[in-house]
A and B are shown apart, each in its own frame.
Chain A
Amino acid sequence: MKRSALTTSFFYALVLVLSAWYVVPFVWALATSVKHPGMVFDGRWLPYERSHAITVEGHEVEMRIVEERGDAFLVRLSGTGELREVPKREIERISPNWSNYAEAWNIVPFGRYMLNSVFISLCITLGQLVTCSLGGFAFSRLEFPGRNAVFLLYLATLMVPGPVLTVPIYLLLREYHLLNTYQGVVLPGLFSAYGTFLLRQFFLTIPRDLEDAARIDGAGRFSVYLRIILPLSGPALAALATFVFIGSWNDFFWPSIVLTDPDMVTLPVGLAHFNDIFVFEYGRLMAGSMISIAPAILMYMLFQRFITRGVVMTGLKG
C-alpha cells in the first residue's frame, strides 16, 4: 500500500525510538566494559584514561590531580610539590581498557561455564528430541488402549507451573544423591509434555500413504518412525531443538538450585555468582556480561532463520 511521505517519516521516527530502546543498554554496557577503574562513572560514553605524569621542560614528572577547574586540572607535582593548572586534554586521553575483559576472563572460569552449558544444553536437547519424537509418534501414529486418556493427562499437566514441581523433584534428586551432578540438571529436562504435543501435531500432518506403502513392503513400526516420519519432520525437529537449546542454555532457576560446585555451574549461574562477588565493579561486570552474551549473539546470527521459526512454532508455550 502507498504511504505518504509524512507517514513514512513518522514510521522511521518510531522505528528509531524502538531501536534505541533495545540498543542503548548494550552500548552503555559495552562502553562501561572498556572503562578504566575509577573512571566508570565520569558521565562520559567514551573510555578516558588519566596519566599520572606530565612533561615539564622535557622531563616526565609524576603528579596527582587535586581538583577539576573547568577544562583544566589543578595538579600537584611530586617532588617539588608545586601546584599547576594543566589542560585536561594533556592528562586525559581516550583509550579502551581491554584488560577488564582479560581480568573477568581470568577471575571467572567462563570457558568452563560455557563448556558446562554446552554439555548440559546438548544433552537436554538431544534427549528431548528422542523422547518427544518417540512419544509424539506413539500419540499420532499408533493405536493402543488408553492412548487418548494418557494424552489428555499430558495436556492437563501443561497448566501446572514450574514451582509446584521443583520441591518434589529436588527431594527426589536429594534422595538419590543426584544434587550437584550434571545428571541432576539433565534428567528432569529430558522429557517435555509440551515437546511431545508439538511433535504429535506435526506428525499428524504427514500423509498416511507413505507409511502404508512402507508397511506393505514389510517395514516395522520402528523403521516407519526412523525412515519415514523423522526424515520428513526436519523443520519441526529443528524448531524444537533450537527452542529447547536456547531454553536450557538460558535456564537459571533449576541449575541454580541443583548445582553448587563452582566447576559445574552453567554460564548464567556462574555469572550470577560473579555478580554477587563483584558488586559495583561495573567495568569487569559489564566485560563479563558481554563475554557471556557473545555466544548467544553468535548463535542468533548463525541460526537466525531457525530461531525465528522455532519461536513461532513452539511459541504456543512461551
Chain B
Amino acid sequence: MTNRTLRHALIGYAFLLPNIAGFILFTLAPIFFSFLISFFDWNLFSGPVFVDIGNYVSMFAGSGFWNYLGNSLFFLVIVPLQMVIALSAALLLNERLKGSLLFKVIFFIPVVLSVIPIAIIWGHILDTENGLLNTLLLLLGGTKIAWLYDPAWIKVGISLMAVWQGSAFSTIIYYAALQGIPDQLYEVATIDGASRWRQFRSITLPLLIPTHVFLGITGVIGALQLFAPIYVMTHGNTGGAHNLIVEVYLKAYQEFQVGYASALSWLLFVLIFLLSAVYWKYIKKKAEYA
C-alpha cells in the first residue's frame, strides 16, 4: 500500500469510526451472535448447551408455533386495509377541497402518536360491556363481541387499531407521491375524453406502483413485527392469539430461553424476507401488464 492510499484509508476510517463502531457492536456482531446461539439451549441461568438444530426442530414440532405463525399471517390483513384507506385519504387531499388543511392535520396526526396511548384508547373502545364499538353494534342490531377476551376477535380488534394508526404514515407517502404526478397527463387524458375513473385506473394507479411496492413491503415488515398493541391491549393475556414477535419477547425476556428465542427470530426474518420477495415479484408482474 502506498503512503497516499494509507493516508486516505486513515482519513476515511477516522470519519467512519463512530459509525462503524456502532454498526459492529449493535448490528453486525448481534446478527452473528444471534445466529450462533440459535443452535444452543441456553436459559441464562446455566451455561449454553449445543443442541445443533434442536431449537428449530422443537419449534416445528410444537403446535404453539404454527398457531403463532398463523396469527402473524392473519395480521397481514392490516396491509391492504391501511393502503386502501391511505390512498383514498391522499386522493381526497389532492382534490384540494375547501378545508383540506384541516383534513390534512386530521389524517396526518396519528403518525406522531405513540402506539401505547392509542392502544389504551382502543382498549376502551373495544371494551365488551360498554365500549364504543359494541354500543354501535347493538344500535345496528348486532350482538356484543368480547373483542379483548375472545382469542378469535382479539386479532380483529388489534388489526382495527393498527390500521387506524398505520394508515397515517401511508397517507403522507401517497400524498407526496401524488404531488409528483404531472398535471399535464390528466389534462391530455381529459381532452381525449377519459373519465375520471378511467384516469385513475390508467394514470394514477400505475404511476404509483413504486409507492405501492414501498408501502406494501414496509407494511408487511411492520405487520409481522406488531408488538406493542398486542402487549398493551391484552396485558399479555392473549389466550394464544399473539404472533411470533410477541412469542419471541415472552420466550426471551420472561422465560429467558434466549437460544430458542433467537431461533424464532431468525425464522421471522426468513418469513419477512420471503413475503417481501413474493410481493415484489407479484407487483413486478402486474407492472409489466399495466
Contact = CB atoms under 8 A, between A and B. Distances in A.
Contacts of A18: 85, 88-89, 92, 103, 107
B218 A257 contact: no
Contacts of B97: 8, 11-12, 15
Nearest to B36: A168
Contacts of A98: none
Interface residues of B, number: 96
B282 interface: no
A197 B273 CA distance: 20
Contacts of A187: 26
Interface string A147-158: 100100110010
Given A43-B135, A252-B114, A164 B266 contact: yes
Interface string B116-147: 11101111110101101001000000000000
B34 A167 contact: yes
A43 B127 CA distance: 13
Interface stretch (B17-25, B51-59, B151-159): B17-25
Interface on chain A toward B: helix, strand, loop, or mixed SS? helix
Interface of A: 1, 3, 7-8, 11-12, 14-15, 18-19, 21-26, 28-29, 32, 40-41, 43, 130-132, 134-135, 137-139, 142-147, 150, 153-154, 157, 159-172, 187-188, 190-191, 193, 196, 221, 225, 246, 249-250, 252-253, 257, 267-269, 271-272, 275-276, 279, 282, 285-286, 288-290, 292-293, 296-297, 299-300, 304, 307-308, 311-312, 315-318
Interface of B: 1, 5, 8-9, 11-13, 15-23, 25-31, 33-34, 37, 85, 88-89, 92, 95, 97, 103, 105-118, 120-125, 127, 129-130, 132, 135, 164, 168-169, 172-173, 176, 186-187, 190, 196, 214-215, 218-219, 221-222, 224-225, 227-228, 231-232, 235, 245, 248-249, 252-253, 258, 261-262, 264-266, 268-269, 272-273
